[in-house]
Amino acid sequence: MPQFKVLPAGDTALVVEFGETIDRNLSAQVLALAHRLKQEQPDGVIETVPTFRSLMIHYDPLIAPFASLSARIAALLKDTRPLLQPARLWSLPVCYEEEFGFDLSDVAARTGLSPADVIERHSSITYHVYMLGFLPGQAYMGDLPAEFDLRRRDTPRTRIPAGSLAVAARMTCIFPLETPCGWHVIGRSPVPLWRHGPAASALLAPGDKVSFTPVSMREYAALSARAIDGALEITPRDIAVEAAA
């Protein structure tokens, strides 16, 4: 059974903590419990929210008091293990041209690489989606090599465009909406990560895998036009990974 702590988070939520680091083993434990709760559907559990190293559980205390729900979670964790499960692998187009990658040259200088090498290394990795947060549909993805363990910018930008692809602290994100940002922007994707409307939803989910495919400015413009028209369809394929069980 994994090591964990159950902590109250107000009157209607609790947090199950699995550790203090950001790594895929802890993420697998978080996602395994989330998947198990989805399967079991314990009375009173309303929603689960995975984070880097913990799972927040929203619940109805009149149906499932904190003590009884904590005991139920401990019982489930006794036989919950990360196993080989299908995960979704997304291939997302990204234009790394410096018109979009405001900080590409700076990242190259900081890492001791050429801009072309930064692009090659960044786009050669299959990333793990740890969690969604900060903005609707924003996926925190890891893990970049050690040379990309970059501090945030000393002076954050007051605004970056939606779709901006950025790196910091060995993580990478596509920012779904226009936003202030202190990360290092190295490209832009035309793929909407958040679907607006009555059935609003995020494209990516915790546990997904993501790779980035470099595209030219011309290809980006064509894809962006299709996205604006609602005609850009990006579909994943299933792969077997060490993930939630």
pLDDT tens column, 83-131 = 666 789 999 999 999 999 999 999 999 999 999 999 999 999 999 999 9
Q: How far is CA 92 from CA 22, 126, 193, 237, in A?
A: 24, 11, 10, 12
d(CA 214, CA 101): 12
CA 50, distance to chain mean position in Å, is 10
* Statement: residue 217 has pLDDT above 60: yes
pLDDT at residue 245, rounded to an integer:
42
Question: What is the DSSP secondary-structure string of 173-207?
Answer: EEESS-EEE-SEEEEE--S-SEE-STT-EES--TT
* Statement: residue 1 has pLDDT above 70: no
Q: What is the pLDDT of residues 231-245, one digit of tens each?
A: 999 999 987 665 444
Query: What burial class does residue 172 get, using C-beta atoms within 10 Å of its C-beta: 0-12 exposed, 13-18 middle, 19+ buried?
Result: buried
Global confidence as pTM: 0.92
What is the torsional sign of CA 124, 128, 132, 137?
A: positive
pLDDT at residue 129, rounded to an integer:
97
CATH numbers and ranges of domains, the chain: 5-81 (3.30.1360.40), 86-243 (2.40.100.10)
pLDDT at residue 195, rounded to an integer:
83
**Element of type H or E holding 222:** helix 217-228
Q: What is the mean pLDDT of residues 127-140?
A: 96
Mean pLDDT of the chain: 93
